[in-house]
Structures are given as structure tokens and as C-alpha cells.
A and B are shown apart, each in its own frame.
Chain A
Amino acid sequence: MTTTIYSAAKIITMNPSRPEATHVAVRDGRILGVGTLEELAGWGDHELDDRFADKVLMPGLIEGHAHTMEGALWNFTYVGWFDRMDPDGKTWDGLKSIDDVVARLSEVEAAMDDPDAPLLGWGLDPIYMDNVRMTRADLDRVSSTRPVGIQHASGHILNVNTKALELAGMLKTGHNHPGIPLGADGLPTGELKSPEIMLPVGKYVGMDRAFLASDEQGLINYGRLCVRAGVTTSSDLGAQLTDEITAMFKRVTGAPDYPACIAAFRIAMGLSPKDLVEQVTALKEQSTDRLELGRIKVVSDGSIQGFSARLRWPGYYNGAPNGMWYIAPEQLREIYTLALKAGIQVHTHTNGDEATQLCIDTLEAALRDAPDRDHRFTLQHCQLASQEQFRKMARLGMGVNLFANHHYYWGDEHYRLTVGPERAERMNACRSALDEGVIMAIHSDAPVTPLGPLFTAWAAVTRLTASGRVQGEAQKITVAEALYAITMGAAVTMKMDHLIGSIEAGKRADFAVLEEDPTAVDPMALKDVPVWGTVQGGRVFAASGI
């Protein structure tokens, strides 16, 4: 029974009774105490470890909405606009033109052995390139003999080359669908819009089952990304969790050096509500220290930038028809009721405010059948929720996890095109949520945007968009509130606040180890606070050695 006392330049605890300290004692992977060296010495024999003497410790950061497939995406070529760090710690420069994108893919192509293997890029976002339209001619410059594709950052568009269209049997005239733009020759331009069109073609460019499923190496890589971002616990918000996948998650996270705890939510697809709740109840029993099981993720609508989110009147700013339901109200009601009765937590994806309202109404009704004083059913994204919706959510005991990163990456698009200025200014309304007393987290939805809670906190504090405008001054939150959201806030929404989220006696020894004090830097520099690494369950992980 070894006790290690770490000294630090500063420890930010998130425990209001003792908000700051200089030392933290760790025993058996848990926090024995926080305070001064003298106070902690009272616990008896210990080793003093000074390696963090010039670092700032925070509670391990918690990503409340991400997908571990972020780790697997790095098997493919990143071609996005923004600089992005891979699991090895290499930063890939953002690409600023189609020529840059073609050049990077060509470089990868030249090093490929199998002449028929597909080449897949990801993360393209032409909205930052004056909405230039990529065509198959562009990608034919990469290769005319192997299938080449690029998935856009939004996830709603796939560009492919001529070879891929040929393989998919689509290189012909006569297509009549708005998601398949045609060139002057009557043939598809290679741009494929909306999932129902992307998916049948996707498999020819490498978006096959393996790409879509969780894979072992991807999960390992995801853990490495967590260390680089200061994350010690991350959700995986929506996995199939078949026996096979659950076994793989257990095996990978059970390795002695796996650096994060993954809270894997079972997605509500392919099972009836009754079977779903039964299966998740059984899964809950299988939880380990680094694999939290027993929660459900439901998807209620689509996305705002894909115009598939369900909006209340007056709908989309550009007049697009309302989006789609991904679940019928009666099924949602059944899942909620059964889950409440079983004590299983449900997090529900809503993007549009009509979807949010449906979830609020449905939960209110389900709670009459199955009262639960502390369900913490949480709405994920919930991007368009209004003040009165937050008020109602608070009164019903609901949580929210707002998509602060989205505001930065797509806020300009929402202002201009999808929901218009007024509603864009109150999208991801952190201020309203906190003012109304809703338990709140903020998230990246990695791989939709990069994993990095300090960036996410920065986005919620500054409300800057990619073009540099402050959009929604009134919805800014303070640095302290944002740091709470990426630690305790996330822990509370996942019902893990008894385990993690703060540095105090009894909790897991999970720390983010930072090079600077995020409460002391200019808020504009919050995203740039360097992460040294993490301590997870008392184990030390340096980003430089991961």
C-alpha cells in the first residue's frame, strides 16, 4: 500500500470547499486527500513525487460526447481545413485549397502498394474555401485507376473520383436526384450528398463495415488522443455493443496501460425497447474500472447543417423542408418509461428544437408512469434549445450537453443559411442553460470536431466563430463555468460524479496535467494551454511518451 504525494504549482480541485491546493495524495489509484504537504503527511508513510512541481493539475477532463472511431479515422488521410493532431502527436497542417488536398492524397497514393486498394480522405470542409465544389476530375488527378473518396467534415457529403463511380455502377446518365449533381455531360460530378446516397458508394472507397465499426487499434489510438487532450474519461456515445464489440472494449480498456475510462453507451438501434433495456441492464453488470456500461443513447433527429434536424416553426432560414425523425414518439416513450423503471440512464441526441421539445414532452409523460427523482436523462447537442426549454428541462431534472465546438466550426453557416441570425446567436446557449439551473456539459462530438475539452471550453467562453465573429455575446460563460462543465458538469450528466470530476478525497486519481494555469491565462488563450499529459487511476501518462 504505497501512498504518493504529488506536489504541483497549483491544483484546481472543482471542490468548492477547498478550491485550490498544492498537494494531492494518491493511494490505490484513488485520491487519499488534497491540501498541504503537512496535512497529507498525517496519512502516514508516503513518497513525495515532485515531477509535477511546476505543473497545474485539474481534475481529469471529461468528454461527454465523442465517438472512439476518432481513433480509427487516422487510418485514413486527413484533408481538413484546420490543423489537427493525430494519435502519434503529429500535427497535420490544415489544407487551404483543392490543390493542397489533391497534393496530400497524391503523396499518400504514391506510397500505396496495392494498385486497386481504395484511398479515403476525411475532414474536407469547402465552406472555408468559398464553397468551391470538388469534382471527380479533381480526384482523378490523384488516381484514375484506384477508387478515391473524401468524406466531408459535416459527414453529409462524399466526393469520389471517376473510378469509384464506375465501380459503383453510377457512371451513367439519367440520375435524377438532388443529392447527385450532374455535370454538363449528364454524368455525376462525383459529389454525393446525403447518407442514403453516400453509403452505397462509400464501400468502394473504403467506407465499409470495418470503417464504420469500432476497431481495436482505433480504440487504442483513441486512448492516446485522450492523453494528449488531458482527458481521463470519455463517453463513446453510441456503440452497437454486441457481445463481440463489448468483449473487444473490455480487452482493450483492460490492458494495464490503457490510459482512459470509456463510458460506452448502447445505441438504440436494431432492438425493441424492451430488449434494449434488458440488454443494457445486463451490460451494466459488466462494467469495469475503465469501461462504464449500462447507458442508452437514442437518436431523435438528424443534423442542422444537413437540414435533417427537426425544427419548430419557422423552420429553416433558407426555406428547406423540416428534417426527419429517427425514432417514433411512441417508441421514445416506451424506451424512456422502461429505462426509468430499470434505473437505466438515457442520453438523447436532439439537434432541432422540435426534437428537444418532443423529448421534454415524452420524458414528462414517462415520469408520470415511472417517477424517478434523479434520472438525469440528458439531451445531447440540443443546439437550438430556447430559454423556456431549458427552464422546463431543469424542472424535470434533465441534463444537457451542448455542442460548443459546433458553434465555432459551423456558426457562420447557421447564421447565414440554416437558422438565421437570431437563432444562431442563441445556439448552444450555455448561459441560458446555467441560468435556468440545468446540469450542463459541453462537447466536441469527436471525430466531428477534434477531441479537446480546453478548446471546447474556449469556444463556450468566447463564442467565436471560424470567421472570427463573436456570435451570441449574451450566451458567453466564464472560464470557471467552462472548466466546471468539462469536469464536474460532464460527470454529473453521466451520473459519475461520485467517482470523477473533482480532486477530492475518495475519488479516482484522475488528473489533467497542464503546463499553465487555465484560470490565469487570457481567456482567448485557453485553447492553447499546453497539456503535459494525464494521471488516470493513479497511473501517469505523459503525452510525449504515449
Chain B
Amino acid sequence: MDLPVTIIGGYLGAGKTSLVNHLLRHNEGQRLAVLVNEFGDLPIDADLIEAEEDGLISISGGCVCCAFGSDLIGALEDVLAMDPRPDHLLIEASGVALPASIATTTGLMAGMRSDAMLVLADADQIRRNAANPYLADTIERQLGQADMVLLTKLDLVTEDERADVTAWLKERAPRTRLLPVTRGEVPITAVLGSIPLPARGHRPGGGAHGLFESLVMEPGHPLDAAALAEALAKEPGVTRAKGFVPTSEGMMLIHVVGNRCQTEPASEVRAPAVVCIGLKGEFDADRVREAFDRCALARQA
């Protein structure tokens, strides 16, 4: 299976570094590799760092972080050569980068798969930045490219402001899932997805706590994987779905991020299981179950 890559974009101060640190701290058994644009005022919380050598920071739980500067390709090759290979690569883009450009590159790297583009929007600042004539089009393009927008720093705004900024974002990215986040705290499963990792004693679906709700489906009969992925992508309450689906042509792995979905043949033997995650209040477990039912292939006589 190709290494999934998630691009974390958004303007300066949107909380990209906080999110990265939160995901590293709560990695729930996933080995994350993180590429940051630059090593500034230490992008990684000091207590997470185990060692630092040759520009590579080793982080507890088998995670790593390095800066790519002007050599993204070289850094990507280094990640692909890591042993053991990471489960997921996060790329923290610079504040003015267009995530789709980076996703194009990672999508063309043999052995990698562009999984998702997350764009962070600072609830307190995003509209001010978008009103800056130098930045307006960049901010709008970043939001427009997002598979999911994470609305951050909600603790800094009033309820009214929150409603205003939410409406403002929905106007700019009407079909994009919007996740509210405070202090970078969002479960890893909600942004990177969750798949069973039995080798590391991890239980599927764990960790989607607080604001999120999850459902693990374990289909016992063949489904149309592509149709299922599309159905889940269209389901507005689902932010993330990921897992192994039995089909008439063997096991497939599906990935759903916001409106976007991908399928690929599973390269290892796994039990069928799909973890679906969404915001409490928006996630509708019955509708998700119905989607699975609709995509069941007719039983052969």
C-alpha cells in the first residue's frame, strides 16, 4: 500500500504546529512522519522529542520530524526509505503554500498517495487575513483546495463570531466539511482516519472522543467498494472513513476525506472493517448503515 500523505495548510498562526503536536502526542499507535517547511522556534514540543540528529527529530512512539526547506523531493525520498516505514506522512505547508501543489507532487511520487488536504482557518483571524489585499486570493485558494477545513482557536471568539465565521467559510467552500477545533485538539482518527492496527494492539475506532462520534462497520459480504466510497463522501455527516471492504475481486482499501474518496487493492490480508467518523450532531449512523446496505453486491445464487 502506498504511504498516505496529508497536507496541512493554512495561513500563519492558523494552528498548524499545534495540530501537528497534538497528533504526535495522541498518535494512537500510528507511526507518523512529519515534514515541516522550516525548523523555527522548535516546531515540536520539547517533551515529545527523544533525539535529534542530522536534522531529523525522533519523537516518542516511533514518529519522526524533519524540515524540507527547498528540497521537498529529497525529504520525501528520505521518508520512503525509512525503516520501519511510517504509517502516515504529514506535511506542514508554509503559510502561503497552495496545498494542491504539494499534493500534486506527493501524488506523483512512486510509493506515495495524496490522502487529504487539511486547511486550518483561525476563527479569530481568517477574515482579517482574507481582507488583506496581498493575501486575499491566496487564502481563498487555500480554502477552496481543502478536503476539510479545520476551524481553529474557537476558544478565542464569542458564539456570535463563531456563527459568523462559520457562515463566511461555508460561503467560500460550500461543500467542504468544517471541523471545529480548540487548542489543536482533534482526534487523529477524525483527520487521518483509523484502521485496525492489530500488530500494535490497537483497537479500531478508539479515540474518536469528545466532539466526534464513530461507527465501525464490519461487512460480512462483498460490496461495491467504489460505490461505497462515493456514498460515504457524499454523506455530509461523515468527515472520515477508512477501512477494508470485501469485494467480488478481493479486499479493497477505501479512503474517504470530506468529499474526496479513493480506493486501492489491499496488499495484505485483513479482516473487513471500515471506521466512519463524523461530528456529533451531524453524524447519522443509520444513514451510514444504509449506505453500506445500498452498496452490497447481489448475492450470487
Contact = CB atoms under 8 A, between A and B. Distances in A.
B39 A271 contact: yes
B69 A196 contact: no
A197 interface: yes
Contacts of A169: 110
Interface stretch (B134-142, B154-162, B194-202, B206-214): B134-142
Interface string A243-286: 00000000000000000000000010111101100000000000
Contact of A199 (B11, B37, B105, B134): B105
A197 B134 contact: no
Given A200-B108, A272-B39, A324 B96 contact: yes
B40 A275 contact: yes
Contacts of A329: 132, 134-135
B290 interface: no
B171 interface: no
A209 B98 contact: no
A179 B96 contact: no
Contacts of B73: 199-200, 202-203
A470 B294 CA distance: 69
A196 B134 contact: no
A270 B38 contact: yes
Nearest to A328: B95
A361 to B, nearest CB: 8
A240 B39 CA distance: 14
10 contacts: A194-B101, A197-B104, A200-B105, A200-B109, A202-B73, A212-B71, A240-B70, A271-B38, A271-B69, A272-B40
Interface residues of B, number: 33
Contact of A331 (B12, B98, B109, B134): B12
A222 to B, nearest CB: 20
A168 B69 contact: no
Contacts of B38: 269-272
Contact of B134 (A179, A212, A354): A354
A309 to B, nearest CB: 14
B41 interface: yes
A197 B108 contact: yes
B295 interface: no
B94 interface: yes
B96 A328 contact: yes
B96 A358 contact: no
Given A269-B38, A270-B69, A325 B109 contact: no
B72 interface: yes
Interface of A: 168-170, 177, 179, 194, 196-197, 199-203, 209, 212, 240, 267, 269-272, 274-275, 321-322, 324-331, 354, 358
Nearest to B69: A270
Contacts of A177: 104
Interface of B: 11-12, 37-41, 67-74, 76-77, 94-96, 98, 101-102, 104-105, 108-110, 132, 134-135, 137-138
A87 to B, nearest CB: 25
A249 B110 CA distance: 34
B138 A325 contact: yes
Given A203-B77, A324-B101, A354-B134, 12 more contacts: A196-B102, A196-B105, A197-B105, A200-B73, A200-B76, A201-B108, A203-B73, A212-B71, A270-B70, A271-B40, A272-B41, A324-B96
A324 B94 contact: no
Nearest to A213: B71
B110 A274 contact: no
A519 to B, nearest CB: 42
Contacts of B72: 199
Given A199-B73, A199-B105, A270-B68, A328 B39 contact: no
Given A196-B104, A199-B73, A328 B12 contact: yes
Nearest to B109: A200
Q: Would you list the 4 A-B pairs with minimal beta carbon distance, nearest first? A: A270-B69, A272-B40, A325-B96, A200-B108
A275 B39 contact: yes
Nearest to A358: B134
B299 to A, nearest CB: 31
Contacts of B110: 168-169
A321 B71 CA distance: 26
B92 to A, nearest CB: 13
Contacts of A199: 72-73, 105
Contacts of B41: 272, 274
Contacts of A321: 137
B296 to A, nearest CB: 27
A170 B72 CA distance: 19
A332 to B, nearest CB: 10
A270 B39 contact: yes
A170 B96 contact: no
Nearest to B112: A200
A270 B75 CA distance: 12
Nearest to B104: A196
B11 A328 contact: yes
A22 to B, nearest CB: 49
